[in-house]
């Protein structure tokens, strides 16, 4: 009897150790404030040397040079700040530009690559409508044009479209209310919770799980076939940590018209641990993004300031 209870305690102890991943905030640094301009939607370059962000309405891109501590303009193009992506080698930024006619009406969209150092610009495609770019782990660029998925090799062969069937990467988009998963060369339309409004879909870094939010219900992790694995609760703009162990998200509050507050949280990918990373009354912290080493989260506050939060991730 005594022996059994002893081993039982060991099991409990071990399992708590196993799931006891730790995530805590070491410090939070305000990177930009109003005197430098009002900036939103920050994202760190893969090597962490530059912090890119956009202005209201996703107009243009700027970056904050972590060494010189200066804000440098990068592009003025309209729409460039919306879900821009870095090449895996960190040398280029991919973004989508909205093209307008003289009167201000949108006419088309262009996918471009811009080299951070040389500022050299390369146009990939102009079409009536393109999705935002996604960088895949296999160093391929993906986006949709109409209902076609475009997978492009980066580097020298950038302009060359790859046949979809050789693409082993997984990427997810929303098309006509449903989630569309492109994986292992096939296109699959899934609706994990049936007919609903899906948003913010993303495939886990290991390419096996899908994270998304459903209007009026919450956020979920499913497998790539749409079988629900974990229910995450009310998590807006959720983002996978690079190691796939955590999801950072915001809990934003509003009265139906105005944002009344927002805080950033992280939840373990098994849904077991939830950590509040910001807690302020007067400030609405929004749209967290992980650094590629998983040791920082950047975000903007509602007044247009950019923050960098250093984390201890054990």
Partner 1 sequence: MKKQLLAVLFLLFSASFLFGQSLSGIKIYINPGHGGYTSNDRHILETDYWESEGNLTRGLFLRDILQKLGATVIMSRVTNTEDDDIQPTSYIAARANTYNPDYFHSIHSNATGTSTRVNYTLLLFQGTTTSPTYPLAKTMAGYIGNEILGAHRTTTRDIAGDFTFYNSTGPYLGVFVGLKMPGTLSESSFHDYIPESWRLRNQAYLKHEAWAIAKAFLAYWGKPPLTTGIIAGILRDPDLGVSYTSLTLQDAKKPVNSIKVTLKPADALNTMEPVVYEGDNLNNGFFMFDELTPGQYKLYYEAPGYFRDSSTVTVQASKNTFADKDLLSTVPPFVVSVSPASGDSIYPGKEDIVISFSRAMNKASVESAISVSPKAPLTFTWSSEKNLTVATAGLPFMTDFTLTIGAGAQEKSHGLSLDGNKDGVSGDIYTCSFRTRLQDLSAPVLETVYPSDNMENVEPMPLINISFNEQINTSTASGRIKLVRNSDQKVLALKANYLPVDGQKSVFCFFPVDTLMENESYSLIISSGIEDLYKNPTSSEKVYTFKTGSKLPTMVYIDKFESGFTANWVSPLTYSSGITSAGTNFASSSIYRFYGSSSSMLINYSWKKSASSWLLREPLIGGAPKNVTFSNSGILQAYIFGDGSNNKFRFCVADGSDFKGLEVSPWYTINWIGWRLLSWDMQREGTGTWDGNTSSNGILDGQLKFDSFQLSYIPGNPESGFICLDNLRAAKDSYMGVEEGDEDLRPSNYSLAQNYPNPFNPSTTLSYKLPEKSFVSLKVFDLLGREVATLVNSEQGAGSYKVEFNASNIPSGIYLYMLRTDNFQETKKMVLLK
For residue 156, the minimal CB distance to partner 1 (Å) is 30
In angstroms, how far is CA 173 from the centroid of its own chain? 13
34 binds partner 1 (CB under 8 A): yes
Neighbour order of strands in the sheet with 228-233: 198-203, 209-214, 218-223, 228-233
283 binds partner 1 (CB under 8 A): no
92 binds partner 1 (CB under 8 A): no
Between CA 99 and CA 120 the distance in angstroms is 19
Neighbour order of strands in the sheet with 171-175: 171-175, 178-183, 186-190
257 binds partner 1 (CB under 8 A): yes
Supply φ then ψ for residue 105, to 5 degrees.
Answer: -85, 140
40 binds partner 1 (CB under 8 A): yes
174 binds partner 1 (CB under 8 A): yes
Binding-site member from 103, 117, 118, 314 for partner 1 (CB under 8 A): 103
256 binds partner 1 (CB under 8 A): yes
Only segment of 15-23, 56-64, 221-229, 275-283 that touches partner 1 (CB under 8 A): 56-64
110 binds partner 1 (CB under 8 A): no
30 binds partner 1 (CB under 8 A): no
223 binds partner 1 (CB under 8 A): no
Helix (H) or strand (E) holding 40: strand 40-44
Between CA 271 and CA 235 the distance in angstroms is 12
Binding-site member from 21, 48, 59, 274 for partner 1 (CB under 8 A): 59
Nearest alpha-carbon partner for 145 in 169, 166, 125, 121: 125
Q: Which of residues 236-255 bind partner 1 (CB under 8 A)?
A: 236-237, 250, 252-255
Instruction: Yes or no: say if 233 and 220 are a contact pair by the CB < 8 Å rule.
Output: no
Report the DSSP pairing between strands 306-313 and 218-223.
Answer: unpaired
- Mention every residue, 6+ apart, whose C-beta is less than 8 A from residue 208: 170, 223, 224
Give residues in contact with partner 1 (CB under 8 A). Answer: 34, 38, 40-41, 56-59, 79, 81-83, 98, 103-106, 109, 129-131, 173-174, 197, 199-200, 213, 215-217, 234, 236-237, 250, 252-259, 262, 286-287, 302-304
């Amino acid at each position: 009897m005594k022996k059994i209870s002893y081993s039982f305690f060991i099991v409990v102890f071990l399992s708590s150790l196993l799931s006891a991943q730790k995530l805590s905030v070491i410090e939070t640094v305000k990177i930009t404030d109003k005197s430098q301009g009002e900036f939103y939607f920050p994202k760190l370059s893969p090597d962490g040397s530059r912090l890119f962000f956009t202005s209201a309405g996703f107009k243009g891109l700027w970056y904050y040079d972590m060494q010189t501590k200066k804000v440098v303009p990068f592009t003025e193009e309209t729409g460039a700040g919306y879900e821009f992506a870095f090449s895996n080698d960190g040398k280029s930024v991919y973004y989508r530009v909205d093209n307008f006619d003289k009167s201000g009406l949108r006419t088309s969209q262009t996918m471009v690559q811009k080299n951070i150092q040389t500022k050299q610009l390369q146009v990939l495609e102009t079409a009536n409508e393109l999705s935002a770019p996604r960088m895949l782990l296999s160093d391929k660029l993906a986006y949709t044009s109409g209902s076609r998925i475009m997978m492009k090799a980066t580097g020298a062969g950038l302009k060359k479209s790859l046949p979809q069937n050789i693409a082993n990467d997984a990427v997810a988009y929303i098309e006509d209310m449903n989630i569309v998963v492109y994986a292992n060369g096939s296109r699959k339309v899934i609706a994990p919770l049936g007919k609903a409004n899906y948003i913010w879909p993303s495939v886990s870094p290991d390419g096996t799980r899908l994270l998304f939010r459903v209007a009026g219900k919450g956020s979920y992790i499913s497998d790539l076939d749409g079988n629900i694995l974990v229910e995450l609760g009310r998590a807006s703009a959720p983002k996978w940590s690079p190691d796939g162990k955590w999801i950072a998200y915001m809990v934003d509050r509003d009265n139906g018209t105005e944002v009344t507050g927002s805080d950033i949280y992280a939840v373990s990918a098994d849904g077991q641990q939830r950590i509040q990373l910001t807690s302020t009354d007067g400030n609405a912290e929004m749209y967290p993004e992980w650094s590629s080493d998983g040791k920082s989260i950047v975000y903007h506050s509602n007044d247009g300031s950019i923050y960098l939060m250093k984390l201890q991730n054990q």
